[in-house]
A and B are shown apart, each in its own frame.
Chain A
Amino acid sequence: MEKALVMNEKDNVATAVSNLSKDETVSVRVGQRRDEVSLIDDIPFGHKFAIRDIGDGDKIVKYGLTIGASTASVKQGQHVHTHNVRSLRGGAK
């Protein structure tokens, strides 16, 4: 069973499909290849982590599409969620 899913090879995040722990190394399938990611945060089921380093203000990509932008630089293996991502849509900002 996969521990995390990458929906599209353009993605820079993976989605945990089990509860994952800090210091765990997770193998994720990215298109045809597999990448190893060492987690630097606990990642709850359903949450996302960076599969490569992401710069401050860079786009967060899932399903091959932009789902927001980072509000800080994010290291590979770090939790990616509302504390370091903002929406680019929807009104008052």
Chain B
Amino acid sequence: MSRVQEFRGYKRSDGRVGIRNYVAIISAMDNVNPVARRVAASVQGTVAVVAGYGRGMVGEDQAQHDRTLIGFGTSPNTAGAVVISLEPDSARAIAEPIAETGRPVYWFAVEQAGGTLKATAEGIRVAMKMAADAGKQSREPAPLSELILGVECGGSDTTSGVASNPATGKVADWLVEADGTVILSERTEIIGGEEFLIDNAASVEVANALRSMVRAREHRARELGFELTNLVADNIAGGLTTMEEKSIGAIHKGGTKPVQEVLGYAQRPTKKGLVFMDAPAPGTENITALGGAGAQVIIFSTGVGNTIGCPIAPTIKVSGNPNTVVALSDNIDVDVSSILKGEKTIEGAAEDLYTALVEVANGRLTQSEVLGDVETVISRWNDYNFL
């Protein structure tokens, strides 16, 4: 059948196309998060990007933090950014790379503004102007190939593996067939199922990168003397028994196309098609990595229910659990429980999910956007960050 192949989005100076038109209010250090929140709450059309840390970091830890915030500021969904920090250097470090994409950026330090009240006023004044300017831009037709879709699962149970993940995987395949990009991530969620991705790798280099990523995690877990597992209590209560079972179910959400490259946390894809990102699995930090990589939209598959969304990338919640779609109806965007009820095939339910994806790209708000159930958590770079 012929599916919709285009959406209406916001064309950016760097050639990318957004599905939202946000002014990002970015806090470069967590000690000024309240100022960024206050500014964002005061100005329509803005979104707060506030995370922990941003100070006392070195090396790759700092680089990963900064790359993620810069990624939010340069997301196709971002029209401009206001960067706030306690002192000037950290604000400038985030703001300058955003400015290089041609977006309007304003940065300042709370120390120089004269405290948080004056900083809040300064932030509101510049954000107001930026948001008013952003509102002058209209949506224009764009091919679906401009989309980067992040796929994630959380609150997984057995239904994730037999319904919502396979339906998400079908949509992922269709987007790749439309020359779009799909980011599959969650490094520990592939352990036990990695051979299928490796067999499907587009090159020997990609296969080796996937294999060495998994081996390194397993090796380090043994050295530290703990069991590497992706299973948590709600997974086990839901009927998942081993990490292999969860992984094989989880991999289904990326679809069946060859893996084109392996990315680091919040790194932008350089290739079209299915790509793999080496990022931790827990939902909030994973969708932060996806948003930071420039995904305009995320499909988040859930079994027992996970309600969180990414502030910059609308997050579509899909569940195939007949209980969850009723009990958590406030938080679920797409119901694919028809698969378990025997009313629809996986492909039939995936058509509904694809329709929702295009609608959200065209401006339909997700439940987590409407309710403000969004959060930013940037993973820290350290030995113990295994999941």
On chain B, the residues within 8 Å of A16 by CB distance are 239
On chain B, the residues within 8 Å of A45 by CB distance are 158, 239, 323
The distance from the CB of A54 to the nearest CB of chain B, in whole angstroms, is 13
On chain B, the residues within 8 Å of A82 by CB distance are 236, 241
Write the A64-93 contact mask toward B (1 if CB under 8 angstroms, else 0).
Answer: 011110000000000011100111111111
- A85–B239 contact, CB under 8 A? no
A sample of 15 inter-chain contacts (CB < 8 A) reads: A5-B162, A46-B238, A60-B242, A62-B245, A67-B242, A68-B244, A68-B245, A80-B241, A81-B236, A81-B239, A87-B242, A90-B218, A90-B243, A91-B218, A92-B225
Complex Cα gap A1–B344 (Å): 11
Complex Cα gap A70–B249 (Å): 20
On chain A, the residues within 8 Å of B226 by CB distance are 91-92
On chain A, the residues within 8 Å of B218 by CB distance are 89-91
- B192–A15 contact, CB under 8 A? no
A residues contacting the other copy or chain, number (CB 8 A): 31
The distance from the CB of A4 to the nearest CB of chain B, in whole angstroms, is 10
B residues contacting the other copy or chain, number (CB 8 A): 33
**A52 at the A/B interface (Cβ < 8 Å)?**
no
Closest chain A residue to B244, Cβ basis:
A67
Complex Cα gap A81–B303 (Å): 18
The distance from the CB of B157 to the nearest CB of chain A, in whole angstroms, is 5
- A87–B238 contact, CB under 8 A? no
Q: Which of A1-38 contact B (CB under 8 A)?
A: 1-2, 5, 7, 15-17
Complex Cα gap A58–B222 (Å): 24
| Contact for B158 among A1, A2, A46, A68, CB less than 8 A | A46
Chain A interface helix/strand/loop/mixed: loop
The distance from the CB of A87 to the nearest CB of chain B, in whole angstroms, is 4
- A89–B191 contact, CB under 8 A? yes
- B241–A81 contact, CB under 8 A? yes
**B383 at the A/B interface (Cβ < 8 Å)?**
no
- A48–B241 contact, CB under 8 A? yes
Closest chain A residue to B192, Cβ basis:
A89
On chain A, the residues within 8 Å of B225 by CB distance are 92
On chain A, the residues within 8 Å of B241 by CB distance are 48, 60, 67-68, 80-82, 85
On chain A, the residues within 8 Å of B342 by CB distance are 1-2
On chain A, the residues within 8 Å of B341 by CB distance are 1
On chain B, the residues within 8 Å of A46 by CB distance are 157-159, 238-240, 303, 321
**B200 at the A/B interface (Cβ < 8 Å)?**
no
- A90–B221 contact, CB under 8 A? yes
Task: Tell me whether A65 and B227 are in contact in the complex, defined as CB-CB below 8 angstroms, given that A47-B158, A91-B221 are known contacts.
Answer: no
**A44 at the A/B interface (Cβ < 8 Å)?**
yes
| Contact for A90 among B228, B240, B248, B323, CB less than 8 A | B228
The distance from the CB of B303 to the nearest CB of chain A, in whole angstroms, is 8
Complex Cα gap A2–B339 (Å): 10
Q: Which of B213-253 contact A (CB under 8 A)?
A: 218, 221-222, 225-229, 236, 238-245, 248-249
